[in-house]
Amino acid sequence: MRDLRSKKIILKGSVRLVAAAMAFILCLTMATGLTLAQQPGSPPPLAIEKIKDNVYIIKGGSGANCFLITGKKTNLLIDAKMTPESFKDMLAEIQKISARPLGMIILTHSDGDHVNGLRGLQEKVKILSHRKTYEEMLPAVEQTPELKDILPTETYEGKKLLDFEGTRLELRNFGPAHTSGDTIIFIPGSRVAIAGDLMFYGRDPLIHKHKNGTFYGYLNTLQAMLDYRPEIEIFLSGHAEPAGRQEVAGLIASLKDKEAKIREMMEQGKTLDDIKAAFGVQPPPSGSQVRRPPLVEIIYQEIKEKK
Ligand SMILES: [Zn+2]
């Protein structure tokens, strides 16, 4: 892995950075669950781009990237944007590409910018997710009955194989990472994998401790994603451009490097504040209510717990 350390994650221009930053803010805003707040201003327009064969990415609108797999009779949607408006707009755009009914929805994880748009779903459709994703969505749904129809109707654990009208799909969860119920959808026939929020290019990964996400789990899941099916060439995710194997390997290497540096500073007797300062982590603005620990702090705590 050492030789990959020099291969930095490629950023194609500032537009990508700005988009990634905006997406991050969205994900952060929605991190506590399924709040109903809308973002100010209008979201970027929806755009559907073909990735390969019958696999498409749906960018723009409110919320994270979604994904479309067209079938012989129906369409399969992966994730659901953040607002009912964006969700309905997305279904209308999909019809321009594939005028088939929606056959199934798979949720990659429970964050609101991936699931809250389901409030715009006006028909009974099978919604599939990992069991932990269902459990993470439950408290918000119990508080807000309006959300009850967005709950997954079917769950799996560990691994699930699906034949979607001739397209073979493998759903995998490799343990807690971004949340406790992250699903990676492998499409071996197209050499494509769809991960939820396992890649954030241009910034630190987001790990939801309140949903039992973990740094070591995140690392483990990224490596498992590469190892599970070596033939996969394209990795898609909610807040990053399509990536290749080298970019995923570069992300793993940079995270391992960060962990090693923090470990070294801890062995030198440095405090958490020293380490945060060395990484340029700013203290949260005074009076801010919800405090999400920065990645450096999450790594520090997990190294301490491991000892
Ligand atoms: Zn997320």
Q: What is the set of domains in the chain, with CATH numbers?
A: 12-205+227-246 (3.60.15.10)
Ligand 1 mean position to 293 CA, how many Å? 15
Residue 306 is predicted with a pLDDT of: 86
Name the 3-class secondary structure at 128.
strand
Q: Are 66 and 51 in contact (CB under 8 A)?
A: no
Distance 72 CA to ligand 1 centre (A): 30
The 10s digit of each residue's pLDDT in 146-164 is 788 899 999 999 999 999 9
Residue 51: phi and psi, rounded to 5, are -95, -55
How far apart CA 118 and CA 217 sit, in angstroms, is 28
Examine the pLDDT at 16 and tell me if it is beyond 80.
Answer: no
Å from CA of 109 to ligand 1 middle: 7
Q: Is the pLDDT of residue 31 over 60?
A: no
On average, the pLDDT of the chain sits at 87
Q: What is the pLDDT of residue 289?
A: 66
Q: 73 CA distance to ligand 1 centroid (A)?
A: 30
What is the pLDDT averaged over residues 50-76? 97
Reported as a pLDDT band with limits 50, 70 and 90, residue 208 is: very high
What pairing do the DSSP bridges indicate for beta strands 240-243 and 126-130? unpaired
- pLDDT of 166-202, one tens digit each? 999 999 999 999 999 999 999 999 999 999 999 987 7
In the reported structure, the alpha carbon of residue 268 is separated from the centroid of ligand 1 by a whole-number distance in angstroms of 34
State which residues have CB under 5 angstroms from ligand 1, the bound ion: 27, 111, 197
Name the percent of the chain lying above pLDDT 70: 86
| Cα(4)–Cα(7) distance, integer angstroms | 5
Distance (angstroms) between ligand 1 centre and the Cα of 182 equals 9
pTM score of the predicted model: 0.86
What is the CA(115)–ligand 1 centre distance, in A? 10
**pLDDT (0 to 100) of residue 20:** 44
89-136: per-residue pLDDT in tens? Answer: 999 999 999 999 999 999 999 999 999 999 999 999 999 999 999 999
pLDDT at 5 over 90: no
pLDDT at position 241 is 94
CA distance 230 to 221: 14
CA 271 to centroid of ligand 1, rounded, Å: 30
Mean of pLDDT values over 259-288: 91
Q: Per DSSP, what are the bridge partners of residue 156? A: 130
- What is the rounded average pLDDT of the residues 238-243? 95
Nearby residues of 60 by Cβ (< 8 Å), 6 or more positions away: 43, 44, 45, 46, 47
- Give every CB contact of residue 33 below 8 A, 6+ residues apart in sequence: 110, 112, 136, 137, 139, 140
Ligand 1 center from residue 87 Cα (angstroms): 17
Q: Among 153-167, 257-271, 285-299, where is mean pLDDT lowest?
A: 285-299
Three state DSSP letters for 48-78: EEEEECCEEEEECCCCCCEEEEECCCCEEEE
